[in-house]
């Protein structure tokens, strides 16, 4: 909270030449900790007791509030998606789900009116109509869509993309890496990337379904939800279907903290998968 801002957010610790983004590592601690908490309450039949529901919500709210204060709304959104999926799969009552939906709708309206800073509101407005500010807030999404469309079926060739190589496409190694892939390698390769992510996410959900205990299921659900949230948001903002946030594409975008987090999450899923066959560990 007291580090120098980078791109307007205080999200990194600078240790010499190495920068660490604690919000990324915190995704793993959320999955592991929340999974254990849900398992503990579920075994004792207390998961739907109002007091314990409040405890779970507080556990999720603390890191989300800290992330919002940085501000890093994109990562906070991922936390909420992961937590919501884990709590839903744990067997929360439908009444709580209904209440959460109503609360979210009201909260989004109030947050937009009274909490979000002007630049965040502007992102949403420009997302709906990028042409209203083509050289300002709408610049990134317009350049990304141009890059994606320019690739056509087979792409313009490696290092031959106009938008990406001539400096028009911003953050081409992180937020808009999918646009680079689409421009230089075309629709075929970008579609292959999408298929691979779908297979990873579906397989992670399948491992959660077949896990031998609740805790393993919660871990896999948490990891799958994290991959899903990153995939939908990053690809969606590259093609103009989602607002622009600083969400990387797992395993592809540049960034050490995010890469480490993704591999730890994948390791959790593989561990749960392996322990479905007890002979592997005898």
Q: Structural domain of residue 239, as residue ranges?
A: 13-281
Asked, for residue 2, whether it belongs to a domain, the answer is no
Asked, for residue 30, whether it belongs to a domain, the answer is yes
The number of distinct structural domains making up the chain is 1
Residue 19: its H or E element: strand 18-20
Beta strands (DSSP E) in 154-228 are none
Asked, for residue 8, whether it belongs to a domain, the answer is no
The mean pLDDT of 264-275, rounded to a whole number, is: 94
User: Which segment, 49-63, 120-134, 136-150, is predicted with the most confidence on average?
Assistant: 49-63
Asked, for residue 209, whether it belongs to a domain, the answer is yes
Asked, for residue 7, whether it belongs to a domain, the answer is no
Whole-number pLDDT of residue 253: 93
Residue 18: its H or E element: strand 18-20
Whole-number pLDDT of residue 88: 92
Task: Quote the pTM value.
Answer: 0.88
DSSP state of 170: T
Q: Which residues contact 212 (CB under 8 A, 6 or more apart)?
A: 275, 276, 278
Asked, for residue 44, whether it belongs to a domain, the answer is yes
Provide the phi-psi class of 255: left if phi over 0, else alpha when psi is between -120 and 50, else beta.
Answer: left
Asked, for residue 263, whether it belongs to a domain, the answer is yes
The mean pLDDT of 44-66, rounded to a whole number, is: 91
Q: How large is the greatest C-alpha to C-alpha distance in the chain, in angstroms?
A: 63
Indicate the pLDDT class of residue 278, thresholds 50, 70 and 90.
Answer: low
Whole-number pLDDT of residue 279: 53
Asked, for residue 5, whether it belongs to a domain, the answer is no
The mean pLDDT of 112-117, rounded to a whole number, is: 76
């Amino acid at each position: 909270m007291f580090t120098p801002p980078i791109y307007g957010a205080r999200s990194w610790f600078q240790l010499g030449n190495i920068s660490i983004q604690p919000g990324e590592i915190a995704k793993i601690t959320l999955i592991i900790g929340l999974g254990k908490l849900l398992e503990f309450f579920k075994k004792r039949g207390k998961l739907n007791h109002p007091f314990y529901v409040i405890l779970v919500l507080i556990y999720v709210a603390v890191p989300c509030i800290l992330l919002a204060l940085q501000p890093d709304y994109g990562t906070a959104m991922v936390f909420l998606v992961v937590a919501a999926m884990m709590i839903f799969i744990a067997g929360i009552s439908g009444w709580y789900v209904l209440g959460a939906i109503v609360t979210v709708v009201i909260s989004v309206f109030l947050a937009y009116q009274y909490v979000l800073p002007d630049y965040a509101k502007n992102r949403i407005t420009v997302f709906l109509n990028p042409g209203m500010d083509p050289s300002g807030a709408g610049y990134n999404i317009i350049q990304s869509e141009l890059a994606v469309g320019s690739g056509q079926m087979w792409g313009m060739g490696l290092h031959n993309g106009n938008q990406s190589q001539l400096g028009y496409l911003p953050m081409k190694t992180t937020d808009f890496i999918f646009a680079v892939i689409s421009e230089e390698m075309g629709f075929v390769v970008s579609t292959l990337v999408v298929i691979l992510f779908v297979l990873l996410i579906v397989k992670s959900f399948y491992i959660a379904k077949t896990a031998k205990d609740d805790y393993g299921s919660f871990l896999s659900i948490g990891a799958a939800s994290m991959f899903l949230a990153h995939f939908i948001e990053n690809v969606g903002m590259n093609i103009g279907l989602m607002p622009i946030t600083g969400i990387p594409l797992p395993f592809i975008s540049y960034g050490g903290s995010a890469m480490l987090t993704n591999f730890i999450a994948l390791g959790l899923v593989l561990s749960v998968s392996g322990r479905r066959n007890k002979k592997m560990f005898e």
